[in-house]
Amino acid sequence: MICYASRTGTRRNLAALRSAGWGLLVSRTGVWRTEGFARYVLDNGAWSDFQAGRSFDAEAFERLLDQLGSGADWVVLPDIVGGGLRSLELSLRWSNRVLSVCDQVLIAVQDGMETTDLAHVVGRKVGIFLGGSTAWKLANMALWGAFCRTQAVHYHVARVNTERRMWMAVAAGADSVDGSSGSRYAVTIPMLTRAAKQTDLFT
């Protein structure tokens, strides 16, 4: 499983992340730097917009794609936090544009979405990004993991900042995770890295 940390400018934390083999998650709402990491991904910033109560900035997302999209492992398609099928419709409208820059895109699944809603749109270049509210995400992590295994598509779990949640992501079969804990506190990186490398403790 690949671990990505939210981009930080703290040298000590960046060095610890590099040493542990982590990549960076660069958000549209943050500083657009990869800090020299070979592996990085792009987030559309919808979660930060949601928390701040502001609208999605499509023009800024376009600029981010042009600047860093071609080198990213994958890009999260624009979404609406808690938006259900409206979010899916928005993501699909952006898919061709983002795929013209990056070879892999992820659809952020939200509260109210069902696996049957995604079965016809996922594939080799289109995977799943488990977003949504925390309660919904935790309750449905294993379900979406099973779906992604069946469909043979990339499965990413967002906001994994504790050892317990890392174990849950491993158990769900996640291909990658992201979080901000390692970006803020270098001391948590070894613990999270060990948890990410554990075999499935729940089976």
Over residues 8-27, the pLDDT tens digits come to 999 999 999 999 999 999 99
% of the chain surpassing 90 pLDDT? 87
Location of structure tokens 């043979």: 152
CA–CA separation, 20 and 2 (whole Å): 11
Hey, what domains does the chain have and what are their CATH numbers? 2-196 (3.20.20.60)
Say how far residue 187 (Cα) sits from the centre of its chain: 22
Query: Which pLDDT score is estimated for 203?
Result: 42
Q: Tell me the average pLDDT across 109-121.
A: 95
Q: Which residues contact 187 (CB under 8 A, 6 or more apart)?
A: none
Reduced to 3 states (helix: H, G, I; strand: E, B; else coil), residue 107 is strand
Q: Would the pLDDT of 201 be above 70?
A: no
pLDDT digits (tens, 9 = 90+) for 38-60: 999 999 999 899 889 999 999 99
Strand-pairing partners, residue 5, are: 24, 179
Residue 82 — very low, low, confident or very high, per pLDDT cuts 50/70/90?
Answer: confident
Reduced to 3 states (helix: H, G, I; strand: E, B; else coil), residue 108 is strand
The pTM (predicted TM-score) of the whole model is 0.94
Distances from the Cα of 201 to the Cαs of 20, 43, 55, 57, in angstroms?
22, 30, 41, 41
Closest CA to 178 of 20, 43, 19: 43
